Amino acid sequence: FSRSAWGVRVETYNWDDLRAEACSVYGAMGTGGFIETVTLAVVSPGTNKVIDRFHFAHGIQQGEMYWALAQLFMQQGPQALPTFSRPPRDWNNEKVTFNLARRLAP
């Protein structure tokens, strides 16, 4: 289950061909089994035929929030996004390493 064995593939899609789908299912689980997720479906241009689908969020409310942020970004650009009290981690920043081995290595 590593990235080297499975590979990481970058895909780009047209914004007009993305659809957010909210779904809820019951499954046999010890916590009641009700699962809500939001997925993004990629459709063929000009049709509603789904060609790809991937996970977007673990809950309807979280999915609505993320989808609203994505729409705001696509319509008005990065300056329209709200400022976050705790900004997301920059994985390319080598000054702050969260890997203990890199922090202690000579």
Q: What confidence tens digit (pLDDT) does each residue in 66-86 have? A: 989 888 998 999 888 888 888
Q: Is residue 102 part of a domain?
A: no
- At residue 49 the predicted structure's pLDDT band, cuts being 50, 70 and 90, is very high
Q: Is residue 7 part of a domain?
A: yes
Q: Is residue 101 part of a domain?
A: no
Please work out, in degrees rounded to the nearest 5, the angle formed at the alpha carbon of residue 19 by the alpha carbons of 13 and 71: 80
Q: Is residue 86 part of a domain?
A: no
pTM (2 decimals)? Answer: 0.62
pLDDT of residue 4: 64
Q: Is residue 104 part of a domain?
A: no
Q: Is residue 90 part of a domain?
A: no
Task: State which residues form the domain around 9.
Answer: 3-81
Q: 101 exposed, middle or buried (CB, 10 Å; 0-12, 13-18, 19+)?
A: exposed
Q: What's the total number of domains in the chain?
A: 1
Q: Is residue 69 part of a domain?
A: yes
Is residue 61 pLDDT above 70, yes or no? yes
Q: Is residue 41 part of a domain?
A: yes
pLDDT of residue 25: 79
